[in-house]
Amino acid sequence: MRPRRALLVLVAAAILAFPAGAAATPRGDVVGQGAPRLVPHSVLPGAGAFEGPVHQIAADGIEIGYRQFGSGPDLVMVQGDTAPMSLWMPYLLRPLARHFRVTIFDNRGVGYTTDDLSRAITVPLMARDTGALIEALGLVKPTLVGWSMGGEIGLTLAERKPALLGALITTGGDAGGPHTVPPPPGLIRKLADPHAGVDVFLELLFPPTRAGGAATARFVHGFESIPQEKVSPRTLARQERAEEGFLRYTGTWRGLPAITTPTLITNGALDRGVPPVNARRLHARIPGSALSIYAGAAHGMLFQDAGRFAAEVARFAATGHR
């Protein structure tokens, strides 16, 4: 697959918490309990080498593939809809690794993580997977960063297991249900169009400004520097149904007032996919939460302002304040 076509597929998958893109091919069957297993020849070349090899560990009836690197208190990063962990850009991960021992992983059915086809994928199930991974790895009160659908997973985990996390940071996420303001009419259809050009997706990540143009170039360069995990239509369809279900699900919204985890809600001011009004509604509903809206940034704000975002994550994890 040519690099720009591969970029189209994976950016479409990660772009926001709505059905768009393609899904990763599960590797292997459901496994039993056991110690982490090293995946041979999984160290990334070049810019991603510092992330180390992939390990797999049994958790919640599947085998979850993950990487760990850096030093300090634990930080867990949860990707968006069908996006593999390879889509985390090294220029975002490096500054985080200076403050944290970072764990990145593939969600159910994506990349190095297996699936159980007898169970429907849902956001609450992926939240349970995330909690099971934290417990299997013995992480104590980790900070969780969730982007897009990863934010949905983080919010759901925090309202279901409020004692598990030390801090929660969401970016471009929402709580589902009728309180979520959806993207403009027709945008999801355009994103799902297999004939859409790559610019449709990059323009949603980054605004048409000088800063947005620079962020786009940096993102494309970072993407092309990391071998990307393969995707399959089967996982796309399963996670697509999970996202559609979450848009009707009211459990997470109802549970927000019970969240006791220190929570920072972030969003791009120019995000058309997940309008920032959703972030403000989360902030109003989660007791004691903090809110940070990034001016001049869209759905890819954590990539456009990677240094600022990493510093804000470190500060909030340490103090509970922006």
Residue 99 confidence (pLDDT): 97
Tell me the two tokens of residue 158: 């925090």
**Which residues have C-beta within 8 Å of that of residue 271, sequence separation ≥ 6?**
172, 297, 298, 299, 301
Q: What is the pLDDT of residues 163-195, one digit of tens each?
A: 999 999 999 999 999 999 988 877 766 665 556
Residue 29 pLDDT exceeds 50: no
Q: Got the DSSP string for 267-302?
A: EETT-SSS-THHHHHHHHHSTT-EEEEETT--TTHH
Residue 226 pLDDT exceeds 60: yes
Residue 237 confidence (pLDDT): 84
Residue 197 pLDDT exceeds 80: no
Q: Pick the range with the lowest mean pLDDT from 108-112, 198-202, 226-230.
A: 198-202
Q: What is the pLDDT of residues 112-157, one digit of tens each?
A: 999 999 999 999 999 999 999 999 999 999 999 999 999 999 999 9
Q: Pick the range with the lowest mean pLDDT from 32-41, 80-89, 126-135, 162-171.
A: 32-41
Residue 16 pLDDT exceeds 80: no
Residue 183 confidence (pLDDT): 81
Domains of the chain as residue ranges with CATH: 3-319 (3.40.50.1820)
Q: To the nearest whole number, what is the mean pLDDT of the chain?
A: 88
Give the DSSP letter of residue 34: -
Q: What percent of the chain has pLDDT over 90?
A: 74
Judge whether 11 and 202 are in contact, CB under 8 Å: yes
**Which residues have C-beta within 8 Å of that of residue 297, sequence separation ≥ 6?**
206, 207, 212, 268, 269, 270, 271, 304, 305
Residue 33 pLDDT exceeds 80: no
Residue 193 confidence (pLDDT): 58
Residue 230 confidence (pLDDT): 77
Residue 27 pLDDT exceeds 60: no
How many Å apart are CA 48 and CA 60, to the nearest integer? 28
Tell me the two tokens of residue 135: 């417990």
Higher pLDDT, 49 or 1: 49
- pLDDT grade for 198, boundaries at 50, 70 and 90: confident
If 0-12 CB within 10 Å is exposed, 13-18 middle and 19+ buried, where does residue 202 land? buried
Q: At what angle do helices 233-246 and 149-160 cross, to 10 degrees?
A: 60
Give backbone dihedrals phi and psi of 263, rounded to 5 degrees, phi first.
Answer: -130, 130
How many Å apart are CA 155 and CA 220, to the nearest integer? 29
Residue 11 confidence (pLDDT): 54
